[in-house]
Structure 1
Amino acid sequence: MMASGTSGNVEIPRTCKAGVVVNEGPDFKLVVDDVTVPEPGPNDALIKLNATGICYSDIHYMLNDLPIPKMSVFGVRSPGHEGAGVIVKLGSNVTNWKIGDRAGIKPAYDACFNCELCWSGKETYCDESPQIGLHFPGSYQQYVLSPARYTTRIPDGVDDFTAGPIMCSGSTIYCSLKESGLKPGDWAVFLGAGGGVGHMGVQLAKAMGMRVVGVDGGDDKRELCMKLGCEMFVDFTEVQDIAAEVVKTCDGKGAHGVFVTATSGSAYAAAPMMARISGKAMCIGLPPTGTAVAGADPLLIIGKNLSISGTKVGSLLDTQRALEFAARGLLKPIYETYPLAKMPDAVEKLRKGNVAGRLVVDFNS
């Protein structure tokens, strides 16, 4: 490939490889193709990614099963929102980054930083917070743009294959744990504990001093969850009344917090039944439109003084905090690595739900 420009001593190609979606919708396919390397605007950083995680939100975007416009409406072909790499070119106004700095991108692309939500650490809910991989080309593309002010620094001691998944999954579950208000010694139950978000929640909750119960299906996920710090694992393929089993495990009273990282209607229906008096059901996993309801009969919610809350991906600060746990050795995404050429296989594997932990694509293999 011929170089289109350089920055410092970094040669930047005209095109790069990317996973691009074909035939958006229920019969979508992902193919690896060449795309044009974007040119940074005055306030942007151009990042050469070394790794990207594969998240089920990407599958939602390609399936078009959420109540949002299609990727193609915005001219986007590559999803992805949890990448890590190095800065190779900077816009003319950028002074707080330099070429070669390690950087990560997360689901929120930017924010206005001039509203109450941004000022209070809720910038991912800002009206001017578009999504990378939906409104802008995402981390399935090796060279991506990121507004310099909303790019995350990756700390020393955290490799790109660890940092990538933390940009979304780690940040998301850290935010939910923080907002739950759970304390050391409280019971935290994760529905979908062996998945990409859930297995990081298990580690973070353990590191925060909580007592952790994992709910998922299969021996692989049981082994992973117990290894990462669960006191108990409940296999939904073997246990008929999952909620009763969880309540029995949690002192016979139920969980202080139930974190629904799964996306099934049955998981959302079971969560309030697992919570104790004054417990919290935290809604995290994104079900396809119309397939799940978060909540229960008002008599149950009133009688148990339950709180039901939803949380999106974390703020800039939440992401930094999650990375700090990783730097201290307390958060380590468990992942299977795929070469770039096999990205379509990784997407298909996740779509089928056959993943314990996370799948990460190595752009350099």
Structure 2
Amino acid sequence: MANFELPDVMKAQFLDAFNTPYILRSVPLPALSSPHDILIRVDAASYCHTDAVLAAGQMPPYPLSYPHVGCHEFAGTVVALPSDSPSLYRLGSRVGVPGRSFHPCGTCFECSSGPSVQDPDADPPGYSVYCQYSQNNGISTPGGFRQYAVVDSRQVAPIPDAMSAVDTATLMCAGVTIYAALKRCGLKPGQRVGIVGCGGGLGHLGLLFAVHMGLKVVGIDNADAPLRLARSTTSEARIVDARIEEAADVVAELGEADGKSDKGDMGIDAVIILPESQKAFDYGVKLLRNHGKCVVVSFPERGFQLSARDVVFRDISVIGSLVGSNKVLREMLEFADKHNVRASVKTFPLSRLNDLVDEYHKAQGGKLVIDMTLRDEVETAL
């Protein structure tokens, strides 16, 4: 094994049970177990809504065991790899790491399918983010809230030279998820997309991606801080406060702007649903013109109720979108680099992960990130 000079132990933040604070401990570095494995020094680790869901015990059966290290969107530098590694990465390579898919089986239907007419963005045969037998960093296996992590070289993406580790980490779940959802909308430049939950981590990135894709963008949210973030993110989107604007009024306004008089032809062409809220889902569907598409990203515990009348009489289609393939991940990073798409972030040192969690529950919007270059008196004393 070729490697940098590495310490014997590292710091990691652990969850010991549901609904408890993280605990910072010193533990041995993880070992490589596959030719596809690479060891990275974690440079930044971003907090996602799924981290909160998992910590609250609302994502059974994960984690599979305690103690558990969370975070499924992080970035780092390659510091060790097997001598027989087939990876194109080398020592010192900077990589972004999503949660899916760690150690896929390589032989199931998903892994063996490859790109197709139905899914041209799928990865080549042998690897799939949809493999039901794979593990997921930060969910079913340890994630990025630690100083070093073993990741699957097939799941990572090279970081553009101009992009920082902090900026990259936010794109490894939030970025690729909303980018893939926008692609799933199947829209052409000039068509209109709605993003419900536009002031959150995924939402404000979605506004930027959509604008640079040449789409007409309508962002929807219902709280002051997220709405402020959405409006400050871009001036090229119509931002709707769902508390004071009825969906029907927004549709009528858009119809007038488009010079349309037929009610069925008014509204938006596709909507992306990010909140775990039935009201948000209903609002988004009401914005759709006939034959519109509803792309669902969130997965509330009790699901969503859908009006059969919308499906039958308005020809509304509803599809889900998980994350993007590794191919889409790389495409998204290149797009973000080209168009300078960056999340609004607030950073914390690893030792203050619990402060980050407290900040998350204030619901101010944007992304919260552990920056491993930051130190404070608590971490220094450990």
Q: What TM-score does the superposition give when structure 2 sets the normalisation length?
A: 0.86
Please give the alpha-carbon distance, in whole angstroms, between the structure 2 residues aligned to 1:183 and 1:208. Answer: 8
In the TM superposition, residue 115 of structure 1 has moved relative to its aligned partner by 4.5
Question: Which residue among 339, 355, 360 is the counterpart of 2:364?
Answer: 355
In structure 2, the residue matched to 1:54 is 47
Show the 5 A alignment for 1:325-364. 325-350=335-360, 352-364=361-373
In structure 1, the residue matched to 2:230 is 225
Question: Which residue among 268, 273, 277 is the counterpart of 2:290?
Answer: 277
CA separation of 1:231 and 1:329: change in aligned 2, threshold 3 A: closer
* 2:72–2:143 contact (8 Å) kept in structure 1: yes
Question: Which residue among 13, 28, 40 is the counterpart of 1:19?
Answer: 13
* 1:32–1:344 contact (8 Å) kept in structure 2: no
In the TM superposition, residue 247 of structure 1 has moved relative to its aligned partner by 1.7
- DSSP 3-state at the match of 2:239: strand
RMSD of aligned alpha carbons: 2.0
In structure 2, the residue matched to 1:262 is 275
Amino acid at match of 2:282: A
In the TM superposition, residue 329 of structure 1 has moved relative to its aligned partner by 3.0
In the TM superposition, residue 232 of structure 1 has moved relative to its aligned partner by 1.7
Please give the alpha-carbon distance, in whole angstroms, between the structure 2 residues aligned to 1:181 and 1:286. Answer: 21
In the TM superposition, residue 249 of structure 1 has moved relative to its aligned partner by 4.1
Show the 5 A alignment for 1:234-313. 234-236=240-242, 238-239=243-244, 241=246, 243-251=247-255, 253-287=266-300, 289-290=301-302, 292-293=303-304, 295-313=305-323
In the TM superposition, residue 130 of structure 1 has moved relative to its aligned partner by 2.0
1:97 aligns with 2:93: no
Please give the alpha-carbon distance, in whole angstroms, between the structure 2 residues aligned to 1:148 and 1:76. Answer: 25
- % identical equivalent positions: 28
In structure 1, the residue matched to 2:175 is 170
In structure 2, the residue matched to 1:65 is 58
Please give the alpha-carbon distance, in whole angstroms, between the structure 2 residues aligned to 1:114 and 1:64. Answer: 32
In the TM superposition, residue 269 of structure 1 has moved relative to its aligned partner by 2.7
In the TM superposition, residue 204 of structure 1 has moved relative to its aligned partner by 0.7
- DSSP 3-state at the match of 2:255: coil
In the TM superposition, residue 52 of structure 1 has moved relative to its aligned partner by 0.9
Question: Which residue among 202, 209, 213 is the counterpart of 2:214?
Answer: 209
Please give the alpha-carbon distance, in whole angstroms, between the structure 2 residues aligned to 1:249 and 1:172. Answer: 30
CA separation of 1:188 and 1:330: change in aligned 2, threshold 3 A: farther
Please give the alpha-carbon distance, in whole angstroms, between the structure 1 residues aligned to 2:369 and 2:250. Answer: 31
Please give the alpha-carbon distance, in whole angstroms, between the structure 2 residues aligned to 1:56 and 1:192. Answer: 13
Question: Which residue among 29, 34, 40 is the counterpart of 2:32?
Answer: 40
- DSSP 3-state at the match of 1:139: coil
| Structure 2: unaligned runs, 5 residues or longer | 116-121, 257-265, 375-382
* 1:202–1:212 contact (8 Å) kept in structure 2: yes
Question: Which residue among 98, 109, 114 is the counterpart of 2:101?
Answer: 109
1:126-184 CA-to-partner distances (Å, cap 9, x unmatched) read: 22332111221001122111122222221221111111111111111111111110111
1:77 aligns with 2:83: no
Amino acid at match of 1:102: R
- DSSP 3-state at the match of 1:268: helix
1:31 aligns with 2:11: no
In the TM superposition, residue 274 of structure 1 has moved relative to its aligned partner by 1.5
1:284-325 CA-to-partner distances (Å, cap 9, x unmatched) read: 1232x11x41x5221122111101010101110111111011
| Structure 1: unaligned runs, 5 residues or longer | 1-5
In structure 2, the residue matched to 1:88 is 79
- DSSP 3-state at the match of 1:221: helix
Structure 1 stretch displaced more, 105-114 or 353-362: 105-114
- DSSP 3-state at the match of 1:232: strand
